[in-house]
Amino acid sequence: MHTLPQLAYEYNALEPFIDAQTMELHHSKHHQAYIDKLNMALATHSEFANSPLTDLLAHLDGVPEDIRTAVRNHGGGHWNHSFFWKVIGPQSTAGAPSSELSQAFVSSFGSLEHFQSEWSNKSLTLFGSGWIWLVCDKGELSIITTPNQDTPLSTGNVPLLGLDLWEHAYYLKYQNKRIDYVTAFWNVLQWDEVNTHFVNI
């Protein structure tokens, strides 16, 4: 049985950038709903109940057809959010990119600032609901978006950081101003977590 991961911070710890009410609803309601529906789907195929979620999402063709969509959507929602909670946190613990990651930004984007600009632009051009990711593919950094709850795992990419662009992630505070939410994200991004992902590639 998959369970809701506990946050390493309080719901109000990301204010004023992400409000406490949004965090509580996002974590305890939206994320929990993905977990509940994933568990319901896996209960019908007990042979997959103990399979690592990363393996299921990376090899969706091997998941029984009658639960494949549920695993893709709800399993993806569970994995994406579990990843997301760790790359955000209080501004006081945000840290900074490591020297190795900083050099990778220069190599792949020209500078950290150019990366952030491209990230903002791609965030705004994503139609509907989905996610934006910084991924590593064969040593090169790139920015990709995924629709709905699709994950980079399903396309063989290694995610370093991700941002939830579903309206439920920001609408209470930012309404339709997605760009304000994307800009605020840099204040709560936990660079040490991203550095760890980069080192472990």
Question: What are the chain's domains?
Answer: 19-90 (1.10.287.990), 92-199 (3.55.40.20)
Instruction: Output the average pLDDT for the chain.
Output: 96
pTM over 0.85: yes
User: Which residue matches tokens 């992630």?
Assistant: 169
pLDDT digits (tens, 9 = 90+) for 105-130: 999 999 999 999 999 999 999 999 99
Measured CA distances, 54 to 60, 131, 149, 154 (Å): 10, 17, 14, 9
* Better-scored residue on pLDDT, 88 or 201: 88
pLDDT digits (tens, 9 = 90+) for 72-108: 999 999 999 999 999 999 999 999 999 999 999 999 9
Cβ proximity of 81 and 164 under 8 Å: yes
Q: Among the listed ranges 24-28, 48-52, 91-95, 161-165, which one has the minimum average pLDDT value?
A: 48-52
User: pLDDT at position 50, please?
Assistant: 87
DSSP sequence for the chain: ---PPPPSS-GGGGTTTS-HHHHHHIIIIIIHHHHHHHHHHHTT-GGGTTS-HHHHHHTGGGS-HHHHHHIIIIIHHHHHHHHHHHHB--GGG-----HHHHHHHHHHHSSHHHHHHHHHHHHHH--SSEEEEEEEETTEEEEEEEETT--GGGGT-EEEEEEE-SGGGTHHHHTT-HHHHHHHHTTTB-HHHHHHHHHT-
Closest CA to 164 of 77, 99, 89, 104: 77
Closest CA to 98 of 199, 16, 169: 199
Flag whether pLDDT at 137 surpasses 90. Answer: no
Percent of the chain with pLDDT over 70: 100
User: pLDDT at position 139, please?
Assistant: 77
Predicted confidence band of residue 143 (pLDDT cuts 50, 70, 90): very high
